[in-house]
Amino acid sequence: MLAMAIAVALLAAPSRALAAVVDHFTVGQEFSKTGMVPEELSSTFTYQLTRVAGRDGVAPLPANAEGDTYTFTLDGDTSKDISLTLGNAAAADALTFSHAGVFSYQLRCVTDPSGTEGLTVDDTVYDVEIEVNNTDDGLAVSHVVIRRESDGYKPDTASFSHSFEGQPEPVPGPEKPVEILGVKLPVAGDATWGLIQLSTAICIGGAVLIVMAIRRKKKEREARS
């Protein structure tokens, strides 16, 4: 009876869900290039993570942030993890939370494409919401929600796709004919050159046939003598 009573009590007791601990969120970048790409073209893009005022106090920023904005760069096809830590002292390149709450940010690329013809910069804006809860073991980051502002889509990663479209690769023009003593020699690829190649093949074939005929007649004379 005692064992049954304990089992019933355990089943009746409210269960406490264990929140998954999250220690980062990721910002990804792709940079595609087509056509002629100038050597001075930079593949580095600048991003800003700006905190948004909320009901749970001021959202923390890394120690190397300025004002309400944390600025960082990505180069080429790459990604960056924004670390999420707990404590009272801010750290560089990490968001450090000292109390429970829901904290909001906006993330965007701020590189200006106007000075580079053919460059397109992804202007997507992401809303980032980070939830920090009190647990039996202390504070824990339980959820990170990344939401695309334009349509509400929630990807796992804040991804940006930039592109550069250069001028088309030049197509080689036809070769200029060589002129000797006022006579223009044909160049490879034109109709005259094709006729010359055909004539040469016919001449070589005819010469081979003549040689073979001469050898055959010589053998016939030797056989009769």
Radius of gyration of the chain (CA): 38
- One-letter amino acid at 29 equals Q
Phi, psi of 222 (to 5 degrees): -65, -35
Element (H, E) at 9: helix 2-12
Per-residue confidence (pLDDT) for residue 196, from 0 to 100:
55
What's the pLDDT tens digit per position in 104-162?
999 999 999 998 999 999 999 999 999 999 999 899 999 999 999 999 999 999 999 99
User: How confident is the prediction for the chain on average, in pLDDT?
Assistant: 83
- Token readout for 52 is 């948004």
What pLDDT, in 10s, does the model give residues 40-83?
999 999 999 999 988 888 899 999 999 999 999 999 999 999 99
3-class secondary structure, 185: coil
Share of the chain above pLDDT 90, in %: 61
pLDDT band at 207 (very low <50, low <70, confident <90, very high): confident
Is residue 94's pLDDT more than 80? yes
With beta carbons less than 8 A apart as the criterion, state whether 171 and 161 touch: no
Higher-confidence position of 209 and 196? 209
- Strands 69-75 and 119-120, sheet pairing: unpaired
78-92, 149-163, 191-205: range with lowest mean pLDDT: 191-205
**CA contacts within 13 A on the Cβ side of 97:** 25
**Cβ–Cβ < 8 Å for 46, 109:** yes
Beta bridge partners of residue 132, listed in sequence order: 101, 141
- Rounded Cα gap, residues 163 and 64, in angstroms: 29
SS3 content of the chain, % helix, strand, coil (to 5): 20, 40, 40
Look at residue 101 in the predicted model and tell me its pLDDT.
Answer: 96
- Three-state DSSP state, 133: strand
Strand ranges for the chain from DSSP E: 24-34, 44-52, 69-75, 78-86, 94-97, 101-109, 119-120, 125-135, 138-148, 158-165, 179-180, 183-184
Q: What is the pTM of this model?
A: 0.69
